[in-house]
């Protein structure tokens, strides 16, 4: 410990812990666990617990993904913020849509770039119907179940009206949870004269000009944080710890194995999520 650190009358500069939440939520990538609660938990815990940060800033760039992982990550952030009395700011980069906006609502204030995309407060289920394709190629689908709903929404069988009705009920229930989360976090800030929960999106400039209440203003992280906490505020980023192998760009067996068909499908799904917002 240095002499300056030991002197009680020397005032330290405040610092803000920064956490980057980037990518589709709950979708793995080759060599990476993706944006999930399990992957982010150690980083979030360190950001709130090391020293006494003046605030925690979330750098968000996500088109959404798993509602469960969104809720788990946001819930962890809120629990620590409340326990330690630390304010949280969210800064939107390209997009904070769907689950990405769920994460943004974990903050006390949400800031965006004028061209950021925010909103998409809805739930979606997408897939393919391959029953006619396999039929044309002489392929038979053989499914045996114990339980009438076990083959629910099988993409290799014709779609059933009762399955679609059941799926819509599930999506509606998830949508209710999403709306409740946004309303509990944004409260009276939200516009009361319009429906913000249709899945529509806005740019940061539109969200502010139309007084939606989805964001608190237009700002970039460093200048805004220094405006709030002082020019001498230090910005301290927190990121996953990298192994020695990864620091030198090496791939070990486990990472090589991650590049399987399943991981490639996840990567394709992630690209489709980004593409919805032109990214």
By annotation, the residues acting in catalysis are 98, 150
Spatial CA neighbour of 132 closest among 151, 114, 149, 156: 156
Residue 135 and residue 205: Cα distance in Å, rounded? 50
Residues 53/236, Cβ–Cβ less than 8 Å: yes
3-state secondary structure 217-275: EECCHHHHHHHHHCCCCEEEEECCCCCHHHHCCCCCHHHHHHCCHHHHHHHHHHHHHHH
- Cα dihedral sign for 178, 181, 72, 170? negative
């Amino acid at each position: 410990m240095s002499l300056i650190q030991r002197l009680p009358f020397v005032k330290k500069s405040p610092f803000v812990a920064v956490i980057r939440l980037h990518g589709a939520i709950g979708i793995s990538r080759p060599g990476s666990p993706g944006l999930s609660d399990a992957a982010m938990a150690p980083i979030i815990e360190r950001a709130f617990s090391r020293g006494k940060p003046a605030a925690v800033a979330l750098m968000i760039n996500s088109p959404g993904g798993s509602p469960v992982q969104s809720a788990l990550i946001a819930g962890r952030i809120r629990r620590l913020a409340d326990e330690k009395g630390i304010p949280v700011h969210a800064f939107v980069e390209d997009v904070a849509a769907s689950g990405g906006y769920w994460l943004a609502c974990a903050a006390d204030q949400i800031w965006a770039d004028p061209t950021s995309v925010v909103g998409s407060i809805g739930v979606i289920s997408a897939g393919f119907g391959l029953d006619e394709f396999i039929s044309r190629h002489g392929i038979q689908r053989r499914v045996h179940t114990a339980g009438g709903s076990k083959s629910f929404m099988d993409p290799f069988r014709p779609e059933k009206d009762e399955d679609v009705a059941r799926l819509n009920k599930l999506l509606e229930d998830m949508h209710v949870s999403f709306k409740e989360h946004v309303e509990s976090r944004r409260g009276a800030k939200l516009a009361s004269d319009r429906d913000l929960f249709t899945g529509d999106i806005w740019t940061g400039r539109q969200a502010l000009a139309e007084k939606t209440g989805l964001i608190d203003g237009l700002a970039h992280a460093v200048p805004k944080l220094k405006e709030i906490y002082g020019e001498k505020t230090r910005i301290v980023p927190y990121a996953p710890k990298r192994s020695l192998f990864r620091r030198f760009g090496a791939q070990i067996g486990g990472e090589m194995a991650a590049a399987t068909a399943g991981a490639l499908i996840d990567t394709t799904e992630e690209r489709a999520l980004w593409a919805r917002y032109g990214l």
